[in-house]
Structure 1
Amino acid sequence: MALDTISTADFERFRRLLYQQSGIHLADNKQPLLIGRLGRRLRELEIDSFGEYFDRVSRAGGEVELQRMIDLLTTNETHFFREPQHFVFLREQVLPHHPAGTPFRAWSAASSTGEEAYTLAFELAEKFGDAAWEIVGTDISHRVVAQARLGVYPIERSTEIPPALLKKYCLRGVRSQAGSMRVMTHLVQRTHFLPANLLAPLPDIGRFDVIFLRNVMIYFDLETKRRVVDNVLSRLKPGGTLFIGHAETLQNVSERVQLVKPTIYRLSGAH
């Protein structure tokens, strides 16, 4: 099977399909990425060409394989306490002002393998203990959602977590689990992951005090950013805080939120 190249026409068809399904735009220089990630799948299925595979994922009844394709082509880079100043702001400026006795809810809107959501869990557990709090993590990739639900990570990731929090909220794997660590069960039980497409109608996940929408808009064009942000903001409580990635901005994207400081926004008034 000659799967080391793809025709311009087939690449364009995949690019258009991925954009329609996820809002992600593959640049011209991403052809090697597409060939590498999908080529392995084609070999597993014993499919001889990218054109034949496209026909499979785009026809009626191809929804399962289409989701597999999206899983393969989406990038899932994350780690614990990524862009740490956001968590400092959360700890010092948001959590202390939350009304006592009111459940606190946080949404990791592009949660990947779950490190961001569990970082939030560490922070909320430190602040609220056994009081009512909850985290929801969503991602378009079913594969990473399943991985996040386990709360299990390579032990090398432990260096990203402050030692006191690591000792308090994670367990080192032993015997068959050697080389891994696991987030403690009582935090996993408060951190719920489910698949969701930020461009589509969202599942019934309620509204949130804080939303982390970080390092996902870099893959979108301006119109897609506007649609995604509008969709996400429909789930933010008035007065709630939105965090975006440090390489991102909401300039020309949304006027519904006020800039608190770079990459941190607040929703005011009732919606």
Structure 2
Amino acid sequence: MAQENSGAPAVLSDKEFQLFRSLIYKQAGISLGDAKKPLVAGRLSKRLRQLEIGSYSEYFRRVQGNAQEMQHAIDLLTTNETYFFREPKHFDFLRDQVLPGAVGRSPFRVWSAACSSGEEPYTIAMVLAESLGLQRPWEIVASDLSTRVLKEAAGGLYPLADCDGIPRPLLHKHCLRGIGAHEGSVLINPALRERIGFRQINLNNALPNLGIFDVIFLRNVMIYFDIETKQQVVRRLLPMLKPGGHFMISHSENLNGITDALKPVRPSIYRKPDA
């Protein structure tokens, strides 16, 4: 049997796929359609080989009995693409419409609620630094479910090739070019990194007390939720958005049927009415 396990790679059966689909929905609120079966198999297969486990069922049992392995599986199944200045109209709106009204108010607080590997909160930090400067108090909370991407984000180190989206003046001003062993990499300036607090937060559970925010970014994550989960997540976040604050989602998303508590300002940009 051991030789059998070490031979041909394990095949994810429909029953095993259903086990992991139920698991990721319960843990992360992510709804995986049938078409995601190859993705689940691909992302978990390497882990099976690393642990010398012969079947997905056996790995599922390992995950169920080991909190650390559960987190590892969640990391593998929830990692999503992101990049600097993604959907730039949101940052234009922040700079041109929101921040001018923030002059004289402090501190200005932003929550990047699905920050992945950090490109979004660092983009926000560059915009805030340019508009508000580094003398005024402002801060960003950046959260994600995945501990692995949060570790990457907190390091603030990126391949230079991944920084194409950063306008060149901001790249020179807010990033440090790596030398020696880090040649070909870029490090986000510590003056920006210290303004960001990275935290692991599961949006599908009761939220910790993070205070009140002027702006909340919840982008490119609700596309993975069913309607009920979307409603629950937005309902949890709304009390943390101050009256008059802005809520930004991805251009591919909308809040129709999810909440009436936010009013559309522009496509994918909403505002909480003043108290």
TM-score bracket for the superposition, by shorter chain length? over 0.9
CA displacement 1:245-270 (0-9 Å, x = unmatched)? 00000000001111111100011144
Task: Please name the residue that 1:153 is paired with.
Answer: 158
Secondary structure in 2 matching 1:160: coil
Give the letter for the 1:91 counterpart.
R
- Counterpart-to-counterpart distance in 2, 1:269 and 1:100: 19
Displacement of 1:57 = 1.2
Displacement of 1:94 = 0.3
Q: Is structure 2 residue 55 aligned with structure 1 residue 52?
A: no
- Counterpart-to-counterpart distance in 1, 2:18 and 2:30: 13
Displacement of 1:157 = 2.2
Paired residues for 1:89-100 under 5 Å: 89-100=93-104
Asked if 1 retains the 8 angstrom alpha-carbon contact of 2:139 and 2:195, the reply is yes
Give the letter for the 1:63 counterpart.
A
- Counterpart-to-counterpart distance in 2, 1:101 and 1:83: 27
Task: Please name the residue that 1:121 is paired with.
Answer: 125
1:14 to 20, 33, 45: 20
Q: Is structure 2 residue 267 aligned with structure 1 residue 259?
A: no
Task: Please name the residue that 2:81 is paired with.
Answer: 77
Point out where structure 1 has 5 or more consecutive residues left out of the alignment.
none
- Counterpart-to-counterpart distance in 1, 2:165 and 2:86: 9
Task: Please name the residue that 1:164 is paired with.
Answer: 169
Task: Please name the residue that 2:249 is paired with.
Answer: 244
- Counterpart-to-counterpart distance in 2, 1:101 and 1:217: 31
- Counterpart-to-counterpart distance in 1, 2:152 and 2:249: 23
Q: Superposition RMSD on alpha carbons, in Å? A: 1.1
Task: Please name the residue that 1:87 is paired with.
Answer: 91
Give the letter for the 2:127 counterpart.
E
Task: Please name the residue that 2:239 is paired with.
Answer: 234
- Counterpart-to-counterpart distance in 2, 1:201 and 1:7: 34
Task: Please name the residue that 1:186 is paired with.
Answer: 191
CA displacement 1:103-154 (0-9 Å, x = unmatched)? 1001111000000100000011111112100011100000000000011100
Displacement of 1:159 = 1.8
Give the letter for the 1:137 counterpart.
A
Secondary structure in 2 matching 1:92: helix
Secondary structure in 2 matching 1:39: helix
Point out where structure 2 has 5 or more consecutive residues left out of the alignment.
none
Displacement of 1:101 = 4.0
Give the letter for the 2:29 counterpart.
G
| Aligned length, in residue pairs | 268
Task: Please name the residue that 1:3 is paired with.
Answer: 9
Task: Please name the residue that 2:111 is paired with.
Answer: 107
1:217 to 197, 208, 222: 222
Displacement of 1:16 = 0.4
Displacement of 1:205 = 1.8
Secondary structure in 2 matching 1:37: helix
Asked if 1 retains the 8 angstrom alpha-carbon contact of 2:103 and 2:132, the reply is no
- Counterpart-to-counterpart distance in 2, 1:43 and 1:204: 40
Asked if 2 retains the 8 angstrom alpha-carbon contact of 1:3 and 1:50, the reply is no
Give the letter for the 1:237 counterpart.
K
- Counterpart-to-counterpart distance in 2, 1:172 and 1:220: 38
Asked if 1 retains the 8 angstrom alpha-carbon contact of 2:113 and 2:142, the reply is yes
Task: Please name the residue that 1:41 is paired with.
Answer: 47
Q: TM-score, normalised by structure 2?
A: 0.95
Displacement of 1:75 = 2.9
Secondary structure in 2 matching 1:135: strand
- Counterpart-to-counterpart distance in 2, 1:259 and 1:17: 34
Secondary structure in 2 matching 1:238: strand
